[in-house]
Structure 1
Amino acid sequence: MPATIIDSTIFGNIFSTDAMKAVWSDENRTRKYLDIEAALARVQARLGIIPQKAADEIVAACDINKIDMGKLRAQTERIGYPVLGVVSQINALCRDRLGEFCHWGATTQDITDTATVLQIREALALVDQDLAAVSKALAALARRYRDTPMIGRSNLQQAVPVTFGYKMAGLLSAIERHRERMLQLRPRVLMGEFAGAAGTLASIEKGAMETQEGLMSELDLAQPVIAWHTIRDTIAEVGAFLGLVGGTLGKLSMDIKLMMQTEVAEVYEPFAHGRGSSSTMPQKRNPISSCYIHAAISVVRQHAAALMDAMVADHERSTGPWEIEWIVLPEAFCLIAGALKQARFVLEGLEVDEKQMRANLDMTNGLVVSEAVMMGLGPRLGREYAHDLVYDICREAVRQKRPLLGLLLENKEIASAMSRSELEALCDPANYLGQAGVMVDRVLARLDEGSD
């Protein structure tokens, strides 16, 4: 009976994905335990630490289909950890007590941590796929709307013109930095653990480091230079990374929500019959995906903080902080997968109303280009004097509810300093986009370089 939003049969695929939930499932985690125990047996047999026939029995027993999950649940509730229950079942499946060589020299945390790292590797691959898709969608929007003028906003007020492509390119630059961060963190994070009770591998008299090296080679993980049972910065780094990705997705969802307001109406999430409708107001078209993104990434951010709490561990094996990771790491990955899925849906089908963007640019009767007018007049009248003059005219335009251009043309000082055609050009928002297009091109060029 599912009780969490992620496992809910109703909400589950809104807040997560089947693929990510499968990575963090009981079955996959248990499969990872078996993979590690089988790899350990193979390595130790090659090194002569355990008999080859014991390794053969252990490897044959390390099959997820041979594990009684109901029994494992009962064993875990009794013992407190699932690894010993798995080892016990492997042992029972082996002939002639050869299973006693299973888990030789290892400790529960070695298997648990290494399994977690293997799950992280699979989970990061899914995140990377979604980030690539989000990047592609943002690039298409940035390219298509490179020169589409819209109002830039500061403190929720109209500021100066930008382009919609510029807005999308800004988000794209952040997504590409996240992809770069993932490449950088993988060598640090994808590191296994095999260190024994207190991290010194004292339980293996000969071949300890060779076992560790061979095991990590079998699993295609980095070999640790020292035990990290209670040194948890790499796991916390994963949480911080997910929090950063979530922050960018949250920025996207916030802007979409604001631009979907009735009074703004510049973009819309993709249309589907009935999607975003109200039970009482037939006219409503709510920003459903953006709402789900906002909720999911807010929880991910708290989970990132919890993983940093888990770093505060005691001595060589901790009493509680470690278990924090079991709770929050799977959920953080599942929720970020859901947020990424919703972001892909929004961006790949985003409806953009260019005419409404232009209408919003014009709604202040030219006040949004007052900076352009001031800078244009500055060389001829002096910047400070031009600022004060335009400031007063802007106030008058607001009071009279008249276009800025008309009042500028009526001012004798301005009329004598600048022609009508020059003033008309300055008062066109499309002429005051600065280097927006150049910046879009730079972001796209860097993206193209990275794909070569």
Structure 2
Amino acid sequence: MSINPADSQIFGTLYGTDEIRALFSDNAHLQFMLDVEAALARAESKLALVPASVADAIGRAARVENLRLDYIADSTRRVGYPVVALVKELGRIAGDEAARYIHLGATTQDILDTALVLQLRAAFAIVRRDLIALARALADRAAKFRDTPIAGRTHLQHAVPTTFGLKCAVWASPLLNHLERLDQAAPRILVVQLGGAAGTLAALGADGPAVVEAFARELALGVPIQPWHVQRDGFAEAAALLGLICGSLSKFALDITLLMQTEVGEVSEPHEEGRGGSSTMPQKRNPIASEYIIGAARAVHALVPVMLEAMIADHERATGPWQSESLAIPQCVALTAGALAQARSIAEGMTVDTERMRRNLELSGGLIMAEAIATALAARIGRAAAEAAVARACNRSIAEGVPLATTLRSDPELRPHLPDAEIDRLTDPSLYLGSAGVFVDRLVARVAALG
């Protein structure tokens, strides 16, 4: 087992995805840093601070396969950062003339921060894609089961009927909010960092702001008001957003886990031979995907405070807090991507037992319809009297172990107000679904509008 299971050959598919592991691999991270250095050289060449031929040479050299990784690793152990060795390696490859211009006006944190921004941009695109795919899968389920009654549960007790379609819509709706949050956060987070030694860009003289703008254009990133090397709210927001996404995924996973209980049995995760099995109980089909979603969410939620703490930076270069970001951000991204993959597999392949839903609605002998009966009675005998009468009838049904309809028919005070036909109608869960269908239709339309 590796230190982080998301990187493990054995556990990796449970906690992350190959796509995200590749995005945050050593080679990918070094390539992003090289891309930043090459973009800086191109930007400065357009302002005549670096010869165009030199910028071209730096661009050609800026390939991770050209680097001596053992040299960079050894230097990083001594220096504390890989950028010093990376700049030397880039100079060695690009040639002596180019080496004079590489990293002009920049400092280590500029390269590390902007490279991480590039990684986050790629990660956001992946997360956005997977949120849309999950929302579509759940919307499809919502439409299919739009009018399928299921017991609505509050405090884990039967409350009133709802529909399975609405449950699916409720799982999907926050995903749309998260897509909006990603789009709204991008202009704040996806911006270049270039501040030089202490955020003044003094080494570039009067050209500093122009270099930042040209640098941002080269990388297709935003331009900040000023360097943000000691204002870490952007990265903290990214982690918090991932935490929100995981919170919504874990609500979905918890509901699936509860619906899979033997005593409930209304929904189950997709099954394949051996999936969710036990080493000693061959009958088991555990909610394994849901369990890993919840586990990932708890880990991301534990890492968000690390990112909030990293905002407490001293003066013009923090002594420690920002170094903790590299511990938290890749894990937040990997675990969120893994949770999304697990959630999508559930949404697309879940087994839905509508017959079990119907039988479970009948478990309480009609007690789940108490609100419907009290509401109908309130128009005839007043709300307080209706609620008291229905409560009395419910208590009697529970004590005698008989259906609520039977109790209502034998209650002399209620008989004048509740004919048999109306009792039959008021105790039918399929006739007390409120606006569930309307809410489902709204969600399905919103998801369809995603394109």
* Contact 2:145–2:163 under 8 Å retained in 1: yes
Query: How far did residue 101 of structure 1 move?
Result: 1.2
**SS at structure 2 position matched to 1:207:** helix
Query: How far did residue 210 of structure 1 move?
Result: 1.4
Deviates more, 1:34-43 or 1:261-270: 34-43
The equivalent residue for 1:165 is: 165
The equivalent residue for 2:390 is: 390
The reply on whether 1:319 has 2:319 as its aligned counterpart is yes
CA distance in 2, matches of 1:287, 1:440: 26
**SS at structure 1 position matched to 2:161:** strand
The equivalent residue for 1:181 is: 181
* Contact 1:249–1:293 under 8 Å retained in 2: yes
Query: How far did residue 98 of structure 1 move?
Result: 3.2
Deviates more, 1:382-391 or 1:289-298: 382-391
Give the alignment of 1:26-425 within 5 angstroms.
26-425=26-425
TM-score norm. by structure 1 comes to 0.98
* Contact 1:229–1:317 under 8 Å retained in 2: yes
CA distance in 2, matches of 1:337, 1:449: 24
* Contact 2:136–2:447 under 8 Å retained in 1: no
The one-letter code of the counterpart of 2:88 is S
Query: How far did residue 58 of structure 1 move?
Result: 2.1
The one-letter code of the counterpart of 1:292 is Y
Residue-by-residue CA offset, 1:85-126 (whole Å, 9 max, x unaligned): 100111222334431210011011111110000000000111
Deviates more, 1:380-389 or 1:246-255: 380-389
Query: How far did residue 450 of structure 1 move?
Result: 4.1
* Contact 1:149–1:161 under 8 Å retained in 2: yes
Query: How far did residue 189 of structure 1 move?
Result: 0.8
Query: How far did residue 301 of structure 1 move?
Result: 0.8
* Contact 1:57–1:99 under 8 Å retained in 2: no
The one-letter code of the counterpart of 1:260 is M
CA distance in 2, matches of 1:251, 1:21: 25
The reply on whether 1:20 has 2:20 as its aligned counterpart is yes
Residue-by-residue CA offset, 1:191-222 (whole Å, 9 max, x unaligned): 01111111110011242211111111000000
* Total equivalences in the alignment: 451
The one-letter code of the counterpart of 1:305 is P
* Contact 1:130–1:340 under 8 Å retained in 2: yes
Query: How far did residue 42 of structure 1 move?
Result: 1.7
The one-letter code of the counterpart of 2:208 is A
* Contact 1:194–1:227 under 8 Å retained in 2: yes
Residue-by-residue CA offset, 1:380-439 (whole Å, 9 max, x unaligned): 122111111111111110111001101101112222122110111001111111111111
**SS at structure 1 position matched to 2:199:** coil
Deviates more, 1:274-283 or 1:337-346: 274-283
* Contact 1:231–1:311 under 8 Å retained in 2: yes
The one-letter code of the counterpart of 2:427 is C
Structure 1 unaligned blocks of 5 or more: none
Identity of matched residues, %: 44
Q: Which runs of 4+ in 1 moved over 6 A?
A: none
* Contact 1:91–1:99 under 8 Å retained in 2: yes
Change beyond 3 A, Cα 1:210–1:438: same
Deviates more, 1:204-213 or 1:110-119: 204-213
Deviates more, 1:307-316 or 1:97-106: 97-106
Query: How far did residue 349 of structure 1 move?
Result: 0.3
The one-letter code of the counterpart of 2:129 is Q
CA distance in 2, matches of 1:77, 1:394: 72
Structure 2 unaligned blocks of 5 or more: none
